[in-house]
Amino acid sequence: MTTIISDPKTPCTDVDPFSRDVLEDPLPFQSELRAAGPVVYLNKYDVYAMGRYGEVQAALTDWQTFQSAAGVGLSNFRKEMPWRPPSLLLEADPPHHDAPRALLTKILGPREIRKLAESWTADAEELVDQVLSRGPEFDAVADLAAAFPLRVFPDAVGIPQAGRENLLPYGDHAFNAFGPPNELVAKGAARVPELSASIASQCAREVLTTDGFGAQIWAAADRGDITEAQAPLIVRSLLTAGVDTTVNGLAAVLYAFATNPGQWARLRDNPALSRTAFDEAVRFESPVQTFFRTTTRDIEVGGTLIPEGRKILMFLGSANRDPRRWDNPDTFDLNRDPSGHVGFGFGIHQCVGQHIARLEASTLLEVLARRIESIEICGPTRRHHNNTLRAWQSLPVRVKTSSTFTRK
Amino acid sequence: MFTEENFQSYASETKLVVTAKTHLADGVVSLNLAHPAGRRLPDWTPGSHIDVVLPSGINRQYSLCGDRWDAHNYRIAVLHERDGRGGSEFIHHGLTEGTTLAVGGPRNNFRLVPSEKYLFIAGGIGITPMLPMIQSAHMMGADWKLLYFGRSRRTMAFLDELAAYGDRVMIVPKDQAGPRSASDLIGPASVDTKVYVCGPQRLLAAVERHCADWQPGLLRLEHFAAKSHGAPIRDASFDVELARAGLTVTVQPEVSVLEAIQRAGVRMLTSCREGTCGTCEVTVLGGQPDHRDSILSDADRAAGNCMFPCVSRSCGDRLVLDV
């Protein structure tokens, strides 16, 4: 590999942000990154990095200079072949990005998805009943954070039952593949052909139900708002981006409450805080930790000249903990207005499914707040390592159900 | 910073400065608008318009016709309408560089959808939304043509910019070409060609007539002026429940839903008041709207979950709005 010598004034580091240690606890590294400067050079990967809120937010907004179409992972699509056909949403820029984005903005908009709320509340009540009926101790990841999205989201998209077990492994690999080709990517590589084929088969018009998001995407192709060739790839975007992210977002908010009992009491007093709570948890844990961008021109950021065509790693998680932007950033606080966090990205590529994620979270939280008086960690917690996601493997919790609550 | 999608709540809040006013053709000037502090402006897509609030308080919609890769400048072009209501008269003869204007949007009711082939048809100032559409089509490698109708070359703006596209552009000035009908130039339907039209009402009507039996989705028009609708479906009063405000108002036949809501003391952002701009869009929670706007597609109308209370009414005796 030819290393292009970085601007000598730019701070650099030998730390590998995708190493096991950093994935286990990224906060110390992120703190060093922010302290080092607005732009830092990562020697190991020959790329630039940004960890401060101001620069990260500005770069995410400036799609003209910091493009996504060269891939939002380490791999540069200008030089390397992507492992799968690029996403029409995440890995595209205007004008190619416009029509798919406009379509999903509409299908996944607050007005369109409101009709899901009622049945999702019923699903949440049923799930919570089932979990609590087994006793006061359970795994908040497997039993709630993963179980709830897997129960409601595939139905909302309209995919068949068969093959749903591949959603999480596929998503896990897709998010690993944004990082360097390390052992996490190698671990998933063997199953790529099988998983890709399974997900692709879920995106076909004939397997989708007639009333889900998938059918709406195909209906847009019939109207000519997108092309027939785009439709399955847009469905695929829902399946890739809509499961692991929400699972880890829910795990994040449950962990935050289990370790902040005072905040849980506040939510119980005022369940309308559930939406703020979820966004605050997304800020606090940043389920999507990082995405790359690629420069389309020479650009100076914070005194560093980044040449055209270079990859820059945006640390969303670090920006969301930047004390330059947030008071007491390491505190999970429902008093805070978390608006402006970059946990969903920012600008034209900001998470188009965020309203779905908020609806899933607020539905589940409101049911839990009614049923559960207190929630605490009752055993060793375990992280799940992924090159892009800040994820949980296991969160053993013990809950006390609400004494005032009677049901049926 | 905000994007087109979440910009609505900021409408009319942004003040932009006129940094250049340029004579483009007889009766046409362009304005360049920028943030007074040099900030980045909200993103937009081809077909987007902004609301411009003039110092007199009147509100006009203009298509963005600049370069979206330039995040710091908006360009609009304005035709001097001699029989207009004063907006274009002020822009042409009262407005100077350095003036600050309140700007709302951008909002897009005229989106460019992907296609292998496009036919763009512009009449007069209707060229404005076509310029960024052409740029997009060109970048995506589509096969496209532009028919540009006008009274004479002297009145037709952007001819120099369009010259760069060579024979993809057909300029049709009435004083040289004679009155050429759009129908002769459009030809028969082709399933792989999307047709985009913007211009005077009679051009839109002529193209709509020509394409009346084409399959849906091929023809896409921008209504600058409101479409004409027949009489409302219901001629009696009806009730509108404002779910968030916890109020129910009765709408009499001679009053718009918007006026009834505002008279009840509920604030609602509006702009054109003729169902063309989309500013006052509300979510419908119950009942069936009688759509009388010029924005929604047939599919949107069938979904029935949103409406524009400045013009639209109710089919039944009750509507429930998320207001």
Identify the CA nearest to A82 among candidates A163, A165, A192: A192
What chain A residue is nearest to B45 in terms of C-alpha separation?
A: A98
Identify the CA nearest to A321 among candidates A52, A25, A11, A24: A52
Cβ partners under 8 Å of residue A311, min gap 6: A45, A47, A48, A70, A74, A76, A292, A293, A294
Q: B114 vs A230: CB contact, 8 Å cut-off?
A: yes
What does the alpha-carbon distance between residue B171 and residue B231 come to, in Å, rounded to a whole number?
39
Task: Please report the pLDDT score of residue A119 as a whole number.
Answer: 96
* H or E element, residue B263: helix B257-263
What chain A residue is nearest to B114 in terms of C-alpha separation?
A: A226
Q: To probe the interface with A, which of B3, B67, B297, B306 has the most A CB atoms within 10 Å?
A: B3
Q: Which of B139, B299, B305 sits opposite A95 (nearest CB)?
A: B139
pTM over 0.95? The answer is: no
Q: B45 vs A98: CB contact, 8 Å cut-off?
A: yes
> Does the pLDDT value for residue B277 go beyond 90?
no
CB-CB neighbors (< 8 A) of A350 in chain B: 3
Task: Please report the pLDDT score of residue B10 as a whole number.
Answer: 38
> Does the pLDDT value for residue B1 go beyond 50?
no
Identify the CA nearest to B286 among candidates B240, B316, B319, B309: B319
- DSSP characters over A196-223: HHHHHHHTSGGGS-SSSHHHHHHHHHHH
Identify the CA nearest to B47 among candidates B272, B226, B279, B223: B223
Q: To probe the interface with B, which of A56, A57, A64 has the most B CB atoms within 10 Å?
A: A64
CB-CB neighbors (< 8 A) of A225 in chain B: 111, 113, 217
What does the alpha-carbon distance between residue A217 and residue A325 come to, in Å, rounded to a whole number?
38
Q: Which of B113, B135, B322 sits opposite A99 (nearest CB)?
A: B113
The single-letter DSSP state of residue A406 is -
B273: left (phi over 0), alpha (psi -120 to 50) or beta: left
Percent of chain B with pLDDT strictly greater than 70: 95
CB-CB neighbors (< 8 A) of B286 in chain A: none
CB pairs under 8 A between A and B: 64
Q: B114 vs A63: CB contact, 8 Å cut-off?
A: no
CB-CB neighbors (< 8 A) of B46 in chain A: 95, 98
A20 CA to chain B: closest CA distance, Å? 35
Task: Please report the pLDDT score of residue B274 as a whole number.
Answer: 83
Q: A98 vs B136: CB contact, 8 Å cut-off?
A: yes
B98-107 pLDDT, tens digit each? 999 999 889 9
CB-CB neighbors (< 8 A) of A62 in chain B: 40, 71
pLDDT tens across the length of chain A (408 residues): 344 555 678 999 999 999 999 999 999 999 999 999 999 999 999 999 999 999 999 999 999 999 999 999 999 999 999 999 999 999 999 999 999 999 999 999 888 898 899 999 999 999 999 999 999 999 999 999 999 999 999 999 999 999 999 999 999 999 999 999 999 999 999 999 999 999 999 999 999 999 999 999 999 999 999 999 999 999 999 999 999 999 999 999 999 999 999 999 999 999 989 999 999 999 999 999 999 999 999 999 999 999 999 999 999 999 999 999 999 999 999 999 999 999 999 999 999 999 999 999 999 999 999 999 999 999 999 999 999 999 999 999 999 998 655 444
B111 CA to chain A: closest CA distance, Å? 8
Helix (H, G, I), strand (E, B), or coil: what is residue B107? strand
Mean of pLDDT values over B25-30: 98
CB-CB neighbors (< 8 A) of A223 in chain B: 216-217, 297, 299
Partners of residue B318 on adjacent β-strands: B239
Q: Which of B71, B108, B217 sits opposite A223 (nearest CB)?
A: B217
Task: Please report the pLDDT score of residue B178 as a whole number.
Answer: 79
Chain B residues at the A interface, defined by Cβ less than 8 Å, are 1, 3, 5, 40, 43, 45-46, 68-69, 71, 108, 111-115, 135-136, 139-140, 194, 216-218, 283, 297, 299, 305-306, 322
What does the alpha-carbon distance between residue A117 and residue A122 come to, in Å, rounded to a whole number?
9
- The residue behind tokens 């390491």 is A330
CB-CB neighbors (< 8 A) of A60 in chain B: none
What chain B residue is nearest to A66 in terms of C-alpha separation?
A: B69
The ipTM, to two decimals, is 0.92
Chain A residues at the B interface, defined by Cβ less than 8 Å, are 57, 61-64, 94-96, 98-99, 102, 105, 111-112, 114, 219, 222-227, 230, 346-348, 350
Beta carbons of B210 and B182 less than 8 angstroms apart: yes
Q: CA distances (Å), A306 to each of A4, A5, A6, A38, A279, in order?
A: 11, 11, 8, 12, 32
Work out the end-to-end distance of chain A between its first and last CA atoms, rounded to an integer number of angstroms.
67
* H or E element, residue A348: none
Task: Please report the pLDDT score of residue A6 as a whole number.
Answer: 57
CB-CB neighbors (< 8 A) of A222 in chain B: 217
Beta carbons of B41 and B7 less than 8 angstroms apart: no
CB-CB neighbors (< 8 A) of B278 in chain A: none
Q: A102 vs B45: CB contact, 8 Å cut-off?
A: yes
Three-state secondary structure of B157-170 = CCHHHHHCCHHHEE
> Does the pLDDT value for residue B129 go beyond 60?
yes
Helix (H, G, I), strand (E, B), or coil: what is residue B155? helix
Cβ partners under 8 Å of residue A370, min gap 6: A271, A402, A405
Task: Please report the pLDDT score of residue A238 as a whole number.
Answer: 97
Interstrand relation of A12-13 and A40-42 (parallel, antiparallel or unpaired)? parallel
